[in-house]
Amino acid sequence: MRREANFNLVKEIFEKAAFVRALGIELTSFGKGWCETQMPLSPSLRQQHGLAHAGAIMTLADHTCGGAAASEVPEGRDVITVENKVSFLRPASGDLLTCRAEVLRAGKSLVFVEATVTGHNQSESALIAKASSTLAVIERSKS
């Protein structure tokens, strides 16, 4: 069942990625063509002014784009980031970041995905970053 296989891949790329676990990124929901995650803004994710580091935001966006792309590829295939551009719309000063990635087009060899990153504190939420990424569909390595 192709659909089942894809969904396993989405879960796997979150369970088996050490860096993603180290940052506290969690898969919150996903379906065919989309993926949602969250990342609590612990002190270790911050830069010199106490804001979320651009690299932590890019990691969240990149991996969530990977999750969305993974949901679209057939069994026996995997995805890898070709390039990712992230625009930083506002400083990320809140307690929690959430991310939603959506596939713009899933081709045989390339998948185009975009993602929004939203910052949350106790009283409000704001769009803090927008990502635009291309991923390549590759053969799945045995592990």
Residue from 47, 75, 76, 95 in contact with a second copy (CB under 8 A):
47
| Piece in contact with a second copy (CB under 8 A), picked from 29-37, 79-87, 92-100, 117-125 | 79-87
76 contributes a contact to a second copy by CB under 8 A = no
| Piece in contact with a second copy (CB under 8 A), picked from 30-38, 46-54, 92-100, 117-125 | 46-54
Cβ distance to a second copy smaller for residue 4 or 43:
43
114 contributes a contact to a second copy by CB under 8 A = yes
Q: Which residues does 27 contact at the CB level (< 8 Å), separation at least 6? A: 10, 11, 14, 35, 36, 37, 67
Scanning residues 18 to 37, which ones bind a second copy (CB under 8 A)? Answer: 18-20, 22-23
**Dihedral angle at the C-alpha atoms of 133, 136, 141, 143, nearest 10 degrees?**
10
Largest CA distance in the chain: 49
Q: How close are the terminal C-alpha atoms of the chain, in Å?
A: 21
59 contributes a contact to a second copy by CB under 8 A = yes
Number of residues lying near a second copy (CB under 8 A): 50
Q: Which of 47, 14, 46, 17 lies closest to 30 in space, CA to CA?
A: 14
Q: How far is the CB of 31 from a second copy (least distance, A)?
A: 19
